[in-house]
Amino acid sequence: MERIKDLVYTHDQGGQFRWVTVSTLMLALGTILHLVSPSFAGITPNWMIAAYCVAILLTKPSISQTLGIGLVAALIEVLTSKSGFPYGNLISEPAGALMVTLIARTMATMKISKIGSFEITPIVTAFLSTVVSGGIFITLLWQIAGLPNNVYLFVIWPAVLAVAAVNAAITPILYIPAQKMFAKRGMLPTGNAESSNHSHLVINPEREAKISIEHMNYYHPKATTPTLKNINLDVHDGDFLVVTGPAGCGKSTLCMAMVGAVPKFYGGRLEGMVFVDGKATTQMDIPDLANHIGVVLADYDTQLVTMTVREEVAFAMENRGYDRAVIEARCAEVFKQVGIEGLEDRKITSLSGGQRQRLTIASVLATNPSVLVLDEPTSSLDPEGTAELYRLVGDLNRNHGITVVVIDHDLHAVLPYANRMALMVDGEVVCDSDVATTLGYMYDHNIYVDALPSVFTTYMELEKAGYHSDAPWLSIESAIEGLHQIEMAKAIERSRYDEPNHTIADGESITQDTNNVGESTGGVAHA
């Protein structure tokens, strides 16, 4: 058993399978360039070799992964090549890809990958891998086609060397922008930190909760100060927790920590621990965590990957090997839960924004997670769509037993459904309590007051003026009820002191406050 405070987990940026994404994109680019590229002085660059050189140099794959990249490149060459012997690529391209990895590792070990600040590895690997790949290809062609020796030695080999020289020139042109683009999106390993391994440790939470974040600090890659500082936060079964705070305070990073993407996807250093259902996230893979926690991102369209509504909801279950009957039954269940029955055969492109968001939630719920995390889900919705979304999420929480965590800054529509609220400032949770207490903390300490619902600020102003309600105003309905209580109190006071004119004036003032509340929160009142 390890002390939670003492735990440290580091992870090199660049996910376990991101080499697949980078390689796929680079090979697709290489294919396009291969099909449209002109010749230079009669020499046509081999863009496919240049593309997989860049992919391998950027992602640093293993030997087996390198051979896989080379084989995919070979299959593409077989399908697109105009040569008389395309199948030679099935041997030449994996060999060329393997040469890239071996040369790059050798140069890194010998520390000769740079001249000054200039990276020479793309040039050297492109030239030598083209020589190896091209040499194997023309040798096979020479033997199978029975070409004359003079043609092989004095015509084809010089052409291969010429293509290698051209590839050495064009590969850095691909490498430099690709490196910047993929690094900016966090898709490359940094090499700055060796990834930790917690598999041999026994790690138990200090507290029992659905999600328990204990003594957590998180540093982004290369950062010297933590993005999240000493976070202690529990999410209990059945909670509807709202996490709010100013822009840049760490809300979304906290959300990613709950689902294991911090630091396993984004890289960096994690101190302390996050537990989901009593298990440390560092001892679970992200796909396994997805069985416990479903996530809906702000840009929910990026989570939709199929053509039709039915296919989208079935997709995650098919990937997990669910039986066909189970898939059909579960699809019908989540369609009903999120209110998109009758849209099963619609194309996703024909859905409205609100319908696509409901579909995203349905696809997340398909694998039956017990927790639903929504990261700023209303950023692209109008007030009516926002109210509709939170009615749905509130129903999932209250009637279907799904624990909900919402990261949001627009509080008007979500608070009537929440039972807890946490406020973050500069990477720290400064208040975690019931909704009214956290709102009161924001008001009293003048923190992010622009996000406070107008009904609540009106309630606080009336409280300061001496008009008391039994419960804080978190919605128009509670505000109206509170104003009735105030008027009742004034009526009692009027009968006691027999000062009707004075009391009526107060009552008129309170009624005017009611009107002001209604006008200032008209969108919420309508919702």
Spatial separation of the C-alpha atoms in residues 371 and 275, rounded to whole Å? 13
- 312-321, 422-431, 432-441, 483-492: which range is least confident on average? 483-492
Q: How confident is the model at residue 418 (pLDDT cuts 50, 70, 90)?
A: very high
**Using 50, 70 and 90 to split pLDDT, how confident is the model at 379?**
confident
What is 18-184's CATH topology? Arp2/3 complex 21 kDa subunit ARPC3 (1.10.1760)
CB 392 within 8 A of CB 362: no
CA 236 remoteness from chain centre: 23
Looking at the DSSP bridge assignments, the partners of residue 228 are 218
* Rounded Cα distance, 173 and 176, in Å: 6
pLDDT at 518: 43
Confidence of residue 463 (pLDDT cuts 50, 70, 90): confident
Q: What is the pLDDT of residue 181?
A: 87
Residue 2 has pLDDT above 70, yes or no: no
Residue 257 makes CB contacts below 8 A (sequence gap 6+) with 213, 216, 218, 228, 231, 270, 274, 281
Q: Strand, helix or coil at 517?
A: helix
User: pLDDT tens digit string along 82-129?
Assistant: 666 788 999 999 999 999 999 999 999 998 988 888 899 999 999 999
- At 503, is the pLDDT very low, low, confident or very high (cuts 50, 70, 90)? very low
Residues listed for the chain = 527
Taking a C-beta distance cutoff of 8 angstroms, is the pair 186, 266 a contact? yes
Residue 523's pLDDT is 38
For the ranges 381-395, 396-410, 512-526, the maximum mean pLDDT occurs at 396-410
Are 416 and 437 a contacting pair, CB within 8 Å? no
For residues 392 and 339, the answer to whether their CB atoms sit within 8 Å is yes
Q: Cα–Cα distance between 202 and 138 in angstroms, integer?
A: 57
Question: Is the Cβ–Cβ distance between 430 and 249 less than 8 Å?
Answer: no
Average pLDDT over residues 62-78: 94
Q: Which of 47-51, 387-391, 476-480, 516-520 has the highest mean pLDDT?
A: 47-51
Residue with the bigger pLDDT between 522 and 315: it is: 315
What is the pLDDT at residue 513? 46
Q: How far, in Å, CA of 17 to CA of 36, rounded?
A: 30
Encoding tokens for residue 233? 């936060």
pLDDT digit string, tens, across residues 306-356 = 999 999 999 988 988 889 999 999 999 999 988 888 899 999 999 988 889
Q: Which of 78-87, 230-239, 500-509 has the highest mean pLDDT?
A: 230-239
- 506: pLDDT confidence band, cut at 50, 70 and 90? very low
Token pair of 107, please? 């140069």
pLDDT digits (tens, 9 = 90+) for 146-190: 889 999 999 999 999 999 999 999 999 999 999 988 877 767 766
Mean pLDDT of 260-280: 91
Residue predicted with more confidence, 186 or 505: 186
pLDDT at 193: 53
Tokens of 487: 């008027």
Q: What is the mean pLDDT of the chain?
A: 87
* Residue 40 pLDDT greater than 50, yes or no: yes
Quote the pLDDT of residue 497.
Answer: 66
- For residue 50, pLDDT beyond 60: yes
Mean pLDDT of 373-386: 84
Residue 269 β-bridge partners: 10, 219
Main-chain dihedrals φ then ψ at residue 385, nearest 5 degrees: -65, -35
Would you state the pLDDT for residue 386?
A: 86
Domain boundaries in the chain?
18-184, 453-526
User: Which of the two residues, 64 and 13, has the higher pLDDT score?
Assistant: 64
pLDDT at 491: 80
Between these two residues, 378 and 460, which has the higher pLDDT value? 460
Give the pLDDT confidence of 296-306 residue by residue, as tens digits.
Answer: 988 888 889 89
Q: What is the pLDDT of residue 43?
A: 82
